Structure 1
Amino acid sequence: MKSQSSTLLAEVRTFRQNHPEVRYVDLIALDIPGHFYGKRYPVEMLEKVAAGSPLKLPQNAVLLGAQGGLFKIGDYCFHDGDPDANRRLVPGTLKPVSWEAQPLGQMLITSDGTEAPIEFEPREVLAKVLERLQHKGIHPVVAFELEFYLFDKKLDDGLPQFARDPLSGDADDQPNLHIERLLRFSEVLDDMAQTAQAQGIDITVITAELGPGQFEINFGHCDDGLRAADWAALFCRSTRGVALKHGYRASFMAKPYLQFPGSGMHVHVSLYDGAGNNLLAAHQQQPLRHAVAGCLDLLPHCMPIFSPNHNAFRRLGGTVNAATRASWGFEDRDACVRIPESDPRNLRIEHRLASADANPYLVLAAILAGLEHGLEAGHEPIAPLNEDRNSGADFPLEMLDAVRAMQHQAVLRDKLGAEFIDVYCENKRQDHLAFQQEINAREYRWFL
Structure 2
Amino acid sequence: MKSHSSTLLAEVRTFRQNHPDVRYVDLIALDIPGHFYGKRYPVEMLEKVAAGSPLKLPQNAVLLGVQGGLFKIGDYCFNDGDPDANRRLVPGTLKPVSWESQPLGQMLITSDGTDAPIEFEPREVLAKVLERLQHKGIHPVVAFELEFYLFDKKLDNGLPQFARDPLSDDPDDQPNLHIERLSRFSEVLDDMAQTAKAQGIDITVVTAEIGPGQFEINFGHCDDGLRAADWAALFCRSTRGVALKHGYRASFMAKPYLQFPGSGMHVHVSLYDAAGNNLLAAHQQQPLRHAVAGCLELLPHCMPIFSPNHNAFRRLGGTVNAATRASWGFEDRDACVRIPDSDPRNLRIEHRLASADANPYLVLAAILVGLEHGLEAKREPITPLNEDRASGTAFALEMLDAVRAMQHQPVLRDKLGAEFVDVYCENKRQDHLAFQQEIHAREYRWFL
Q: TM-score with structure 2 length normalisation? A: 0.99
Deviation string, structure 1 residues 159-209 (Cα, Å, up to 9, x no partner): 000000123455466572111000000000000000000000000000000
Deviation string, structure 1 residues 264-306 (Cα, Å, up to 9, x no partner): 0000000000000000000000000000000000000000000
Is the CA contact (8 Å cut-off) linking 1:126 and 1:365 kept in structure 2?
yes
Measured in 2, the distance between the counterparts of 1:13 and 1:358 equals 35
Deviation string, structure 1 residues 63-116 (Cα, Å, up to 9, x no partner): 000000000000000000000000000000000000000000000000000000
Measured in 2, the distance between the counterparts of 1:170 and 1:189 equals 20
Measured in 1, the distance between the counterparts of 2:111 and 2:411 equals 24
Measured in 1, the distance between the counterparts of 2:359 and 2:155 equals 26
Measured in 2, the distance between the counterparts of 1:413 and 1:353 equals 21
State the Cα distance separating 1:318 from its structure 2 match.
Answer: 2.8
Measured in 1, the distance between the counterparts of 2:203 and 2:169 equals 29
Change (3 A) 1:235 1:85: same
Structure 1: runs of 5 or more not aligned: none
1:246 aligns with 2:269: no
Measured in 1, the distance between the counterparts of 2:167 and 2:57 equals 46
- Aligned-CA RMSD value: 0.8
Is the CA contact (8 Å cut-off) linking 1:164 and 1:172 kept in structure 2?
no
State the Cα distance separating 1:134 from its structure 2 match.
Answer: 0.1
Is the CA contact (8 Å cut-off) linking 2:262 and 2:318 kept in structure 1?
no
Moved over 2 A (4+): 167-175
Measured in 2, the distance between the counterparts of 1:132 and 1:153 equals 44
Is the CA contact (8 Å cut-off) linking 2:175 and 2:181 kept in structure 1?
no
Measured in 2, the distance between the counterparts of 1:380 and 1:412 equals 20
Measured in 2, the distance between the counterparts of 1:418 and 1:145 equals 29
State the Cα distance separating 1:440 from its structure 2 match.
Answer: 1.3
SS in 1 for 2:116: coil
State the Cα distance separating 1:338 from its structure 2 match.
Answer: 0.1
Structure 2: runs of 5 or more not aligned: none
Deviation string, structure 1 residues 397-421 (Cα, Å, up to 9, x no partner): 0000000000000001001000000
Is the CA contact (8 Å cut-off) linking 1:23 and 1:43 kept in structure 2?
yes
Is the CA contact (8 Å cut-off) linking 2:177 and 2:210 kept in structure 1?
yes
Change (3 A) 1:320 1:175: farther
Is the CA contact (8 Å cut-off) linking 1:26 and 1:105 kept in structure 2?
yes
Measured in 1, the distance between the counterparts of 2:410 and 2:318 equals 32
SS in 1 for 2:223: coil
Measured in 2, the distance between the counterparts of 1:173 and 1:362 equals 38
Aligned 1:378-389 pairs, distance under 5 A:
378-389=378-389
Is the CA contact (8 Å cut-off) linking 1:162 and 1:172 kept in structure 2?
no
Aligned 1:26-425 pairs, distance under 5 A:
26-171=26-171, 174=174, 176-425=176-425
Measured in 2, the distance between the counterparts of 1:77 and 1:111 equals 18
Is the CA contact (8 Å cut-off) linking 1:162 and 1:173 kept in structure 2?
no
Is the CA contact (8 Å cut-off) linking 2:32 and 2:64 kept in structure 1?
yes
Query: Which has the larger displacement, 114-123 or 166-175?
Result: 166-175
Q: TM-score with structure 1 length normalisation? A: 0.99
Measured in 1, the distance between the counterparts of 2:238 and 2:227 equals 16
Change (3 A) 1:5 1:172: farther
Is the CA contact (8 Å cut-off) linking 2:192 and 2:238 kept in structure 1?
yes
Question: Between Structure 1 and Structure 2, how many residues are aligned?
Answer: 448
Is the CA contact (8 Å cut-off) linking 2:332 and 2:386 kept in structure 1?
yes
Is the CA contact (8 Å cut-off) linking 2:291 and 2:373 kept in structure 1?
yes
Change (3 A) 1:413 1:175: farther
Is the CA contact (8 Å cut-off) linking 1:165 and 1:172 kept in structure 2?
no
Deviation string, structure 1 residues 324-355 (Cα, Å, up to 9, x no partner): 00000000000000000000000000000000
SS in 2 for 1:172: helix
Measured in 1, the distance between the counterparts of 2:25 and 2:443 equals 45
Change (3 A) 1:302 1:428: same
Measured in 1, the distance between the counterparts of 2:171 and 2:391 equals 40
Is the CA contact (8 Å cut-off) linking 1:125 and 1:365 kept in structure 2?
yes
State the Cα distance separating 1:6 from its structure 2 match.
Answer: 0.1
Change (3 A) 1:63 1:221: same
Is the CA contact (8 Å cut-off) linking 1:336 and 1:351 kept in structure 2?
yes
Is the CA contact (8 Å cut-off) linking 2:139 and 2:223 kept in structure 1?
yes
Is the CA contact (8 Å cut-off) linking 1:71 and 1:430 kept in structure 2?
yes
SS in 2 for 1:417: helix
SS in 1 for 2:32: coil
